[in-house]
Chains A and B, each alone.
Chain A
Amino acid sequence: MHADRVLARRAVLEVTARVLGVAFVGVFLVAHALLAWLSPLVDADWAAPMWDARFTYVGGVRWFGRFVADHWTFSDLATYLLGRLPSLHVVASPVAALALVLGMTTLAFGRVPRLRHGGEMLMVALASTFVWIATTRPGVLYFHRSSTGTHVYAAALATWVLAAYRGAWRPSRAAVIPFVIAAFWAGTSTRQVGIGTAIAAIVLLRRRPPAERPAWMRPATIAVSLGAIAGCFDAPLLELRRVLARGFEQNLNFLINPLSETGKLVSLAALLALAKLTLEHVWPRFAAAPETAPDGGADTLPAPGVTFRLALTAVGLAALSLFGPRATEVTQLPATVVAIIAVLPYYRWLVASRPLRALCVALAVATHVVAWGVGFTTYRALNAEFEARLAAIARTPAGQVAVVAPYAESLPDAYRIGEDWGSAPFRQLLAIDVFGLHDIDFAPAFRTLDPNPHIDIRFESTGVTSAQLAAARAPTRWATQPVAARVQFKDLVDRLEDLGVTGFSARLVVHGIAPATFAGRPILGAWYEQGHLIAPYVTRGNKDEADRIPFSVKGESKALFTEAWILEAGQARRAEPGRYVYIKPITTETQAIVLCTTHRCLLADAISPRF
């Protein structure tokens, strides 16, 4: 009788666990799909439609070749597809997020979590909880297309590739080639994921005796390593100089953020461990949960050496992220993933105590309810603002300037990128390339708005016919912001060359700026002569301590320019020679930077300051 009751109770528990497991997975997918659906296109998401607009002049195989050349890494491909296909974000991103959570749990325990096992599903739920807790901007990570395509998809793929290594899975022969391709893609995804996966794959391969290695392991290891190496040479390259220039302490400060974010999990585990040990003393009968005892004994804790190694790996991945090309909160995901994998086994030990298990269940439920709830209210409001913005654009006649409202929250937070159309060149290129407008303006203005300086820039060419220009999709409207106009010009020259047009010259002529100081030298936005394109990349830095904005010219052509001038209120003054040219806005008057050779001048950039 007693045995029957125990068996019946176990069966009930299994059914309950399975129902809860399925419910968690279902709710997870639905919630993420809903939030992905509400999440608007922002920031780098616009790269996909802008790329499409740029390459409408070619088709078929040439288009495909160009596409592959620009999107050969896994992250680039995923990001493009998510930006291009809204439904893909709704369908695939929740699956990728779930795959990441399951992948972390699989790696932490060495086996795929089972739906019918309550303890294992609790670990899955905690893994998901920890992503929300230990990342600074979880909403952006999961629902901003570019971030999720770059980081979540990559991390999910990498965890499953490594899970196969850890479990020495033996897939069918037909699955080996796709698996090797997946390994290559994992290597190409991001530098942290690629390098981290490659090193982990090599370590796991070497730890397994040759006789026990599945056949796919060696080719997959080569593939992931090649992918990682190739990914390192994909532009933009590692920024060693910038990291060294920052100095030791500044780099340490950058590492503090991921450390304190993931540290929350460590602190929580430490507090729970203290509670568990205390409860075992003061409340021994209630503290233990007999049915999970086999998983919860102290002997099931991982070897401290493993934890140390994983902790060092997390620190290494966080440090690697300093080398760019971008170091933001979301680039810390790989380090966070490793940290979660390191701490999960300790939580399995902790939840063997019944009160702590209840606490962890409550934590998981509360975290998801709050995170998804906040996400829903945030993205619903943001989506409404985005739709209003698109409606205003749709109402604006082609070639005109659309006026839109800025997002109510212009600063970034855990869920939002913030106002993404602040930059004048980006905004005007988007208006021209994607929406067929001349520009987009804001009413009311906001702090980070970079107003368009409205420079009269016109295109002139010789040796190229109207038909050739039309075939190359020459812009019908040129930007009034010098950097944006230069991008248009460079793209046009690329397209003309791509179409086989030779022997032509072209230039962007700036009108309305002709101080006597330049002694008759023309001011151009860019030029192309005898096969040489002079359209340098001009960067604008952050304001320095003295409120000066630094501008610098990148590329070989910067050596051509021997003079630098600053134009303001119709007057020109010589800029100090140096690596940067500085503008120090005092009023809202438009200021421009002009670089000159002996024969002509280049309008490098122009700003209309706002305070």
Chain B
Amino acid sequence: MSPVLLDDWYQLTWHRHNELTLASVWEYARYNYFHFNPRIGDVLLMLVNGPPVIHLIATPLVQVALLWVVFAVAFGRWPRPTTRDLQLLLFIQVAIWIAVPAPGVMYFYRPFTTNYLWAFTTTLALFAPYRIALTRGDDRARPWLTPVMAVVGWLAGMSNEHTGPTAMVAMAIFVGYAWRKRRLRVWMIAGAVGLYLGYPMLFLAPGQTERYAGVATRNTPVVVLAERGLRGSFDIIVAFVGEVQLATNLALVAFLAYLGAIRRRAERIPTLPPRVLAAIALPVVAAGSIVVTLFVSPAVGERLFFASGVLVVIGLVVVADVAFAERAARRLVVGICIVVFGYHAFRFVYVYAVGGRANRERMAILAAAPDGTTPTVPPYKMWKRTRWWWGDDFRYSSLREYVGNEVYDVDGIEMDRHTRWSEPSPGERFVATRVYEPPLPPGVEATIAPLRYIPTYWEWDLVQLRRAIAFDGLGEWNGHELVRYTVDVAGSTFVDPKRRPLRALEWTPTSLGFVDGGRLDNDRGQPFIRVWDVSVPAGHIDTYVFGCGTTTAVETVPDTKYQLGPMVPVPITCRGMYQAVMCTPTVCWLAGRYWK
């Protein structure tokens, strides 16, 4: 029932043009590593968007496996077929659902599921054997485990940027502890080596610098930390504490009921043994460590809290295990868990039954649309993002354009009605010009890597260009090398008194030109397009905003708050799309959009 949403569409395009073979998977992973999202989760995403059987079988298995590895890391053993362990597994599942933000999205929106749930399950699966071996005192060599642990360690390292540092520290502690106790085994070293190889491979992947047109190079950890400051960092902690609050309360309810039962018998409260304290404290410390890592992450919240939330649950289930020694506590908390589990199960099924049907209806409309048309689709009734559901992904005009052209061979997709949350289409056309050296004979150029359309967003022009160079041979043809690729705006309502060309992107093998502007409302709610200062065209002399049938010359104002670049004020007189333009004496550049 889980729908095709947002990042899923990009995978559908890949499957449309490629057979699923080991070679094609390798090609995809290689391209991602060097040019896009290098995480292993994105390759997994491509797989679960392939033949449905993969998603139907693998995703539920991983979701259940998460319970098992959480249990193993918490208690140093695998769950047994006993009522108590079933109760603890129920507690784990409920606690995860109430501790992680948006569980419906984490569990059933494939891109999050593979990039975060699968990924962290892999990380915990790496640690589970260490925890079990060191708890049991089982010192067998297990040579067969060595290659497995090396691979799992590498996969864990390649999983997420924000969990890697903590995982590496934790691994160092495990390995160091095993070494001190003279119980270090080869498979332990193999797992550690895999992890210590995988994470640097992920963090230093070339794709990180190219992805999102190099946002990562702009948002270095130091820059992010400086922008976020003490207040922003503190807010991350508070937000995380708020997210795991319900799960914490559930464990505390269990513990209070446990204390109450002991007090009623007028017995002395037993002290917690050190190993239990450590089993509670260490995952919580690890969770805190991952949260602290987010201080330097450009993105925060929701999906990035998943790993930390699960780690807190590991600590909480140990508390619950202590409390479950008392029947009153056990009955109370298991009762609560059954109700919460039931509610979540009901909501998951209901939301995805309704949302999945709407998604299928939308896809049917698009599939039935004749080529070259612009079909309209109704907005989802569940357009808002909730803890269960991602919302309507067609709110993004760029996605509608991409899906229409890449997946359904139509010219675009429009909503069948105006909505407050849906971005209008820009209403113009982009035209690409290629320059080869030596020049190509007439008529040949159109035959090289023909492009069905030119996206009206420069970021997507760049992605299209890179893919065409990597997969379709756009960069070189029989000794003719692509030396310049420009994307200009055609059919725009922009009126330039000096009649300069309006450009969106200019690429050469050694340079990249674009103006990166995004919508921003200042503290008074006044509309601006803020331009990243590094991308302001050299020799910039004029700034304009056009939209609603008029072009207005404006003066930029400085961004005194964040100092990221000049802000272009947007004079709004009617609903629709407004675009900023920054001009040099010879060319004008599209500098961002704002819509109302």
Is chain B a partner of chain A in the same complex? yes
Residues on A facing B (Cβ under 8 Å): 259-261, 263-264, 266-267, 270-271, 274, 277-278, 281, 298, 301, 303-305, 307-308, 406, 408-411, 419, 444-448, 543-547, 585-588, 611
CA distance A601 to B573 in the complex (A): 30
Query: Would you call B252 and A447 a contact (CB within 8 A)?
Result: no
Taking A263-B242, A264-B238, A611-B596 as contacts, is the C-beta distance between A545 and B420 under 8 angstroms? yes
Interface string of B217-248 (1 = CB under 8 A from A): 00000000000000000000010011111101
Partner of B525, one of A264, A298, A447: A447
Query: Would you call B420 and A543 a contact (CB within 8 A)?
Result: yes
Within 8 A of A (CB), among B509-543: 521, 523-527
Query: Would you call B248 and A587 a contact (CB within 8 A)?
Result: no
B263 beta carbon closer than 8 Å to chain A = yes
What is the minimal beta-carbon distance from A22 to any residue of chain B, in angstroms?
Answer: 31
Known: A277-B271, A544-B420, A586-B575. 20 other contacts (CB 8 A): A259-B249, A260-B242, A260-B245, A263-B241, A263-B249, A264-B242, A266-B248, A267-B245, A270-B248, A271-B284, A274-B277, A304-B260, A308-B253, A446-B524, A543-B420, A545-B383, A546-B419, A547-B418, A587-B575, A611-B596
Task: Indicate the member of B243, B260, B417, B523 with the most A CB atoms within 10 Å.
Answer: B523
List 24 contacting pairs A-B, 8 Å CB cutoff, sorted by A.
A259-B245, A259-B246, A259-B249, A260-B241, A260-B242, A260-B243, A263-B245, A263-B246, A264-B245, A266-B248, A267-B245, A270-B252, A274-B277, A277-B271, A406-B524, A409-B524, A411-B523, A411-B525, A447-B524, A447-B525, A546-B419, A547-B418, A547-B420, A587-B574
Task: Indicate the member of A270, A271, A307, A587 with the most B CB atoms within 10 Å.
Answer: A270
What is the minimal beta-carbon distance from B109 to any residue of chain A, in angstroms?
Answer: 19
Q: How many residues on B have C-beta within 8 angstroms of the other chain's C-beta atoms? A: 42
B410 beta carbon closer than 8 Å to chain A = no
What is the minimal beta-carbon distance from A250 to any residue of chain B, in angstroms?
Answer: 10
Taking A260-B245, A266-B245, A277-B272 as contacts, is the C-beta distance between A546 and B256 under 8 angstroms? no
Taking A259-B246, A278-B281 as contacts, is the C-beta distance between A546 and B417 under 8 angstroms? yes
Query: Would you call A278 and B277 a contact (CB within 8 A)?
Result: yes
Residues on B facing A (Cβ under 8 Å): 238, 241-246, 248-249, 251-253, 256-257, 259-260, 263, 269, 271-272, 274, 277, 280-281, 284, 383, 417-421, 521, 523-527, 572-575, 596
Task: Indicate the member of A260, A278, A585 with the most B CB atoms within 10 Å.
Answer: A260
CA distance A157 to B372 in the complex (A): 72
Q: Which residues of B contact A261 (CB under 8 A)?
A: 242
Query: Would you call B523 and A410 a contact (CB within 8 A)?
Result: yes
CA distance A583 to B79 in the complex (A): 60
Which A residue's beta carbon lies closest to that of B259?
A304
CA distance A260 to B525 in the complex (A): 28
Query: Would you call A444 and B526 a contact (CB within 8 A)?
Result: yes
Q: Which residues of A contact B256 (CB under 8 A)?
A: 304, 307-308
Query: Would you call A303 and B260 a contact (CB within 8 A)?
Result: yes
Taking A264-B241, A277-B272 as contacts, is the C-beta distance between A546 and B420 under 8 angstroms? yes
Taking A304-B259, A448-B525 as contacts, is the C-beta distance between A267 and B241 under 8 angstroms? yes
Query: Would you call A281 and B245 a contact (CB within 8 A)?
Result: no
Query: Would you call A447 and B521 a contact (CB within 8 A)?
Result: yes
Query: Would you call A446 and B525 a contact (CB within 8 A)?
Result: yes
What is the minimal beta-carbon distance from A311 to any residue of chain B, in angstroms?
Answer: 8
What is the minimal beta-carbon distance from A374 to any residue of chain B, in angstroms?
Answer: 9
Which B residue's beta carbon lies closest to that of A445?
B526
Which B residue's beta carbon lies closest to that of A585?
B575
Among all A-B residue pairs, the 8 with the closest Cβ atoms: A447-B525, A263-B245, A304-B260, A260-B242, A446-B524, A304-B256, A611-B572, A587-B574
Q: Which residues of B contact A264 (CB under 8 A)?
A: 238, 241-242, 245
CA distance A128 to B419 in the complex (A): 46
What is the minimal beta-carbon distance from B288 to any residue of chain A, in angstroms?
Answer: 9
What is the minimal beta-carbon distance from A39 to any residue of chain B, in angstroms?
Answer: 19
CA distance A266 to B246 in the complex (A): 10
CA distance A310 to B440 in the complex (A): 81
Q: Which residues of A contact B244 (CB under 8 A)?
A: 267
What is the minimal beta-carbon distance from B316 to any residue of chain A, in angstroms?
Answer: 9
What is the minimal beta-carbon distance from B199 to any residue of chain A, in angstroms?
Answer: 28
Cross-chain pair count, CB within 8 angstroms: 105
Query: Would you call B526 and A447 a contact (CB within 8 A)?
Result: yes
Query: Would you call A408 and B575 a contact (CB within 8 A)?
Result: no
What is the minimal beta-carbon distance from A176 to any residue of chain B, in angstroms?
Answer: 38
Query: Would you call A263 and B248 a contact (CB within 8 A)?
Result: yes
Query: Would you call B524 and A266 a contact (CB within 8 A)?
Result: no
Query: Would you call A304 and B572 a contact (CB within 8 A)?
Result: no
Taking A266-B248, A271-B284 as contacts, is the C-beta distance between A277 and B277 under 8 angstroms? yes
Query: Would you call A611 and B241 a contact (CB within 8 A)?
Result: no
What is the minimal beta-carbon distance from A332 to any residue of chain B, in angstroms?
Answer: 14
Q: Which residues of A contact B524 (CB under 8 A)?
A: 406, 408-410, 419, 444, 446-447
Taking A259-B246, A267-B241, A267-B248 as contacts, is the C-beta distance between A281 and B277 under 8 angstroms? yes
Taking A263-B249, A274-B284 as contacts, is the C-beta distance between A587 and B573 under 8 angstroms? yes
Q: Which residues of A contact B284 (CB under 8 A)?
A: 271, 274
CA distance A445 to B526 in the complex (A): 8
Q: Which residues of B contact A447 (CB under 8 A)?
A: 521, 524-527
Which B residue's beta carbon lies closest to that of A257?
B242
Which A residue's beta carbon lies closest to that of B262?
A304
CA distance A410 to B245 in the complex (A): 31
Q: Which residues of B contact A263 (CB under 8 A)?
A: 241-242, 245-246, 248-249
Which A residue's beta carbon lies closest to that of B269?
A298
What is the minimal beta-carbon distance from A1 to any residue of chain B, in angstroms?
Answer: 37
Q: Which residues of B contact A278 (CB under 8 A)?
A: 277, 281
What is the minimal beta-carbon distance from B384 to any residue of chain A, in angstroms?
Answer: 9
Query: Would you call B575 and A410 a contact (CB within 8 A)?
Result: no
Q: Which residues of A contact B417 (CB under 8 A)?
A: 546
Query: Would you call B575 and A611 a contact (CB within 8 A)?
Result: yes
What is the minimal beta-carbon distance from A338 to any residue of chain B, in angstroms?
Answer: 15
Query: Would you call A586 and B259 a contact (CB within 8 A)?
Result: no
CA distance A586 to B277 in the complex (A): 62
CA distance A408 to B526 in the complex (A): 11
Q: Which residues of A contact B257 (CB under 8 A)?
A: 304
Taking A274-B277, A408-B524 as contacts, is the C-beta distance between A266 and B252 under 8 angstroms? yes
CA distance A411 to B522 in the complex (A): 10
Q: Which residues of A contact B420 (CB under 8 A)?
A: 543-547
Taking A264-B241, A307-B256 as contacts, is the C-beta distance between A281 and B574 under 8 angstroms? no
Q: Which residues of A contact B573 (CB under 8 A)?
A: 587-588, 611
Query: Would you call B238 and A274 a contact (CB within 8 A)?
Result: no
CA distance A220 to B57 in the complex (A): 66
CA distance A585 to B572 in the complex (A): 13
What is the minimal beta-carbon distance from A421 to any residue of chain B, in angstroms?
Answer: 13
Q: Which residues of A contact B271 (CB under 8 A)?
A: 277
Partner of B418, one of A274, A298, A406, A546: A546
CA distance A274 to B287 in the complex (A): 15
Q: Which residues of B contact A611 (CB under 8 A)?
A: 527, 572-575, 596
What is the minimal beta-carbon distance from B268 to any residue of chain A, in angstroms?
Answer: 9
Q: Which residues of B contact A546 (CB under 8 A)?
A: 417-420
Query: Would you call A281 and B274 a contact (CB within 8 A)?
Result: yes
Query: Would you call B248 and A410 a contact (CB within 8 A)?
Result: no
Which A residue's beta carbon lies closest to that of B417?
A546
Q: Which residues of A contact B269 (CB under 8 A)?
A: 298
Q: Which residues of B contact A277 (CB under 8 A)?
A: 271-272, 277
Partner of B574, one of A270, A301, A586: A586
CA distance A41 to B386 in the complex (A): 37
What is the minimal beta-carbon distance from A442 to any residue of chain B, in angstroms?
Answer: 10
What is the minimal beta-carbon distance from B592 to any residue of chain A, in angstroms?
Answer: 17
What is the minimal beta-carbon distance from A296 to any residue of chain B, in angstroms?
Answer: 14
Which B residue's beta carbon lies closest to that of A547?
B420
Q: Which residues of A contact B421 (CB under 8 A)?
A: 545
Q: Which residues of A contact B248 (CB under 8 A)?
A: 263, 266-267, 270
CA distance A263 to B526 in the complex (A): 35
Q: Which residues of A contact B418 (CB under 8 A)?
A: 546-547
What is the minimal beta-carbon distance from B148 to any residue of chain A, in angstroms?
Answer: 34
